[in-house]
A and B are shown apart, each in its own frame.
Chain A
């Protein structure tokens, strides 16, 4: 057998290696601003998901004269009114329900498992680990999510115009009655005050031109803004990765043609294109906006991927993989992509910020979401008539847009620094 191995590590057992992701995460944790940004993004998404629990004109739970009511539940499973963005509402509601359900169900189970594990280790010893894997947790989560989907298909939508505020205020005078309300007791669609009411005790951030509560609309509007950023960039990244990797891997004529296509698409003015398309489409919805932002925004990513991959492709491990008989798809997806993905991630984070800005601009011009759907840009649009007078319609959504875009940019920059090629293990 082969001679003794002098360069081997001295016999201590080697530590489990850190994967590339772990290394990046370690580096990313040192970027304090980016960590704050990441926390804020998570918070924003939690707010967007929990919007019905934060602002609604229906109580979460109420007990009126011995009867339990939960009028918000129907609203949650079957959102009304019918807007083109209903799918989005359902998506976020589903996320919320799944999150709550898994917190209620999985976490206690997980806690028990952890305790059992510790006991097990104490008794049996660490050598024979309890045969439980993270996989089990994922499967449990999947089951919970599937179960949470059921009511979304079974619960019928019904317009519930009961004035719970008035009814429950009456009921509250009688003993034994109680109601658990969302933080803001106004829904995003109801006219609960007089138009253009400045911020005050009744409506913390004021009301808009239809007398709707601005805070409620801000909270619900975050759903549109965040998902525009996310989904349009997802479209752009998918397309960009596909075109970029084909271009880099095949090279030659394929590369030539694809790069000319990229150059043509780069010339499209995104904003004007969306305006034109929105003017022609009869069922205007936010999904058109996402699609167009995605379909025009992939070019930068395609070029990034191509450049990165051309560099990686020249390295020996690609030749080695080919010499082992790997096919082209395997080489692209298993070997080239993971090594070229880093700058794409950074670019995508910045892209999210850009897409949110684009959507706000469109809604500001009145080409974004259709009423009565709330979005930050739509609030800005309402302030157009008298921006200084209705300052609360300018400031609050402006602050939200500014904050979100800044936060995404901070994360992007942190990611860029963390992925720096000079990074060392």
Chain B
């Protein structure tokens, strides 16, 4: 789909994940394709409920019943994860692909020390003794900026602040040197100064460990600062996908344009209203016919409600799914 210079680490091809509930099938992810190159940071952007997190969980095959990955391919260095036996999939999780979550408060097991949990992460993938694993864990905690990790390692999660917990989560995720980190809104639950610290930390560790990051967020500012490429999702589909600078300067999908307008800026006149996107993401059990964005789209023409626009290369390396914008 998107041509990138670096070798493709992860290729998601036409992924369909849906939830079979009593009152219908919710097609949360409906034909999503994108790629992440080695060492690259890709932003996955969209409103709440547009399928970002389900995409992430699908990559790790962690979608729980009643959810099901219906079709598609997820290739990690050419190996299809969806057909992998369970045992090999477990080796991939945490070993090659790791994930960190939005809510650091509930992402650590409250009854064990953080050391226990980091050590567990080490020993799940490396044949190390407890003492060696502990050393490894201390090293990793130091790397993520936990002060005096030799003592902190015996702390319980409730003794740490939210930012500290997120650092521990990052340590657990990265201790086995994965080649891809999926960060699912890693800073949403943190306050702004700590957000910046965590993002700096992620960027520093990414450079050091040479891993790729799939950054899921609805914060366009974070994407602008971190990601080289951006995939914009809407209603379970990819709306637009381009290099970050190109996307910000020249969005080719009305949804992306409206997203930018909804971000508060310092350089707009003080009394002007912040524009929002009218309406909400439609119910995934009843996606609108045609272009899924057309009920909320100010540019919508008649064709939009009848026929679904394909993802087209509007400019070199800039793909968007829209009938109106060229």
Question: Contact mask B147-165 → A, CB, 8 Å, 1/0?
Answer: 1100110111011010110
Q: Would you call B109 and A324 a contact (CB within 8 A)?
A: no
* Segment at the interface with B among A5-13, A144-152, A156-164, A222-230: A5-13
- Tell me which residues across on chain A come within 8 A of B103, comparing CB atoms: 316
Query: Which residues, 61 to 112 on B, are CB-close (under 8 Å) to A?
Result: 62, 65, 90-95, 98-103, 106-112
- How many A-B pairs have beta carbons closer than 8 Å: the answer is 120
Q: How far is the CA of A317 from the CA of B154 in the complex (A)?
A: 18
- Interchain CB contact (< 8 A) of A3 among B106, B146, B169, B200: B200
Q: Would you call A3 and B145 a contact (CB within 8 A)?
A: yes
B193 within 8 A of A: yes
Q: Would you call B154 and A324 a contact (CB within 8 A)?
A: no
Q: How far is the CA of A335 from the CA of B157 in the complex (A)?
A: 14
B32 within 8 A of A: no
Beyond A1-B143, A3-B201, A324-B121, whether A19 also contacts B106 by CB under 8 A is no
Query: Which residues, 306 to 327 on A, are CB-close (under 8 Å) to B?
Result: 315-317, 319-327
A338 within 8 A of B: yes
- Interchain CB contact (< 8 A) of A324 among B155, B156, B164, B173: B173
Interface centre among B60, B98, B112 (most CB of A within 10 A): B112
- Tell me which residues across on chain B come within 8 A of A251, comparing CB atoms: 65
Question: Contact mask B195-207 → A, CB, 8 Å, 1/0?
Answer: 0010011001100
B239 within 8 A of A: no
Nearest neighbor of A14 in chain B, beta-carbon distance: B151
Q: Would you call B94 and A325 a contact (CB within 8 A)?
A: yes
B144 within 8 A of A: yes
B194 within 8 A of A: yes
Q: Would you call B65 and A252 a contact (CB within 8 A)?
A: yes
Shortest distance between the CB of A204 and any CB in chain B (Å): 49
Q: Would you call B101 and A316 a contact (CB within 8 A)?
A: yes
Nearest neighbor of B93 in chain A, beta-carbon distance: A325
- Interchain CB contact (< 8 A) of A17 among B92, B156, B173: B156
- Tell me which residues across on chain B come within 8 A of A16, comparing CB atoms: 154
Q: Would you call B113 and A17 a contact (CB within 8 A)?
A: yes
B177 within 8 A of A: no
- Tell me which residues across on chain A come within 8 A of B146, comparing CB atoms: 5, 8
A18 within 8 A of B: yes
A339 within 8 A of B: yes
Shortest distance between the CB of B164 and any CB in chain A (Å): 6
- Interchain CB contact (< 8 A) of A317 among B106, B143, B197, B201: B106
B13 within 8 A of A: no
B281 within 8 A of A: no
- Interchain CB contact (< 8 A) of A339 among B57, B111, B120, B161: B111
Shortest distance between the CB of A126 and any CB in chain B (Å): 15
Q: Would you call B62 and A7 a contact (CB within 8 A)?
A: no
- Tell me which residues across on chain B come within 8 A of A5, comparing CB atoms: 145-147, 163, 167, 197
Nearest neighbor of B163 in chain A, beta-carbon distance: A7
Q: Would you call B124 and A6 a contact (CB within 8 A)?
A: no
Beyond A6-B193, A13-B148, A13-B151, whether A325 also contacts B95 by CB under 8 A is yes
Q: How far is the CA of A7 from the CA of B99 in the complex (A)?
A: 23
Q: Would you call A2 and B159 a contact (CB within 8 A)?
A: no
- Tell me which residues across on chain B come within 8 A of A315, comparing CB atoms: 106
Interface centre among A317, A319, A339 (most CB of B within 10 A): A317
Query: Which residues, 1 to 38 on A, are CB-close (under 8 Å) to B?
Result: 1-3, 5-9, 11, 13-14, 16-20
Q: Would you call A324 and B200 a contact (CB within 8 A)?
A: no
A425 within 8 A of B: yes
Shortest distance between the CB of A81 and any CB in chain B (Å): 49
B285 within 8 A of A: no
Shortest distance between the CB of B142 and any CB in chain A (Å): 9
- Tell me which residues across on chain B come within 8 A of A317, comparing CB atoms: 106-110
Beyond A7-B161, A14-B159, A17-B113, whether A319 also contacts B144 by CB under 8 A is no
Q: Would you call B93 and A339 a contact (CB within 8 A)?
A: no
Shortest distance between the CB of A247 and any CB in chain B (Å): 14
B138 within 8 A of A: no
Q: Would you call A6 and B109 a contact (CB within 8 A)?
A: no
Shortest distance between the CB of A320 and any CB in chain B (Å): 5
- Tell me which residues across on chain A come within 8 A of B60, comparing CB atoms: 322-323
Beyond A2-B144, A335-B109, whether A323 also contacts B193 by CB under 8 A is no
- Tell me which residues across on chain A come within 8 A of B204, comparing CB atoms: 1-2
- Tell me which residues across on chain B come within 8 A of A316, comparing CB atoms: 101-103, 106-107
A–B pairs, 18, beta carbons within 8 Å: A2-B144, A7-B194, A8-B164, A13-B151, A14-B148, A14-B159, A19-B111, A19-B156, A317-B110, A319-B101, A324-B94, A325-B90, A325-B95, A327-B90, A338-B109, A338-B111, A339-B109, A339-B111
Using A8-B164, A325-B95, A339-B109 as known contacts, list a sample of 15 further A-B pairs with CB atoms less than 8 Å apart, ordered by residue number in A.
A2-B200, A2-B201, A5-B163, A6-B193, A6-B194, A13-B151, A320-B108, A320-B172, A321-B109, A323-B98, A324-B120, A326-B120, A334-B120, A335-B109, A338-B109
Measuring CB to CB, which residues of chain A are less than 8 angstroms from any residue of chain B? Answer: 1-3, 5-9, 11, 13-14, 16-20, 251-252, 315-317, 319-327, 334-335, 338-339, 425
Which A-B residue pairs are the 7 nearest by beta carbons? A324-B94, A325-B94, A325-B93, A2-B145, A17-B156, A323-B99, A316-B107
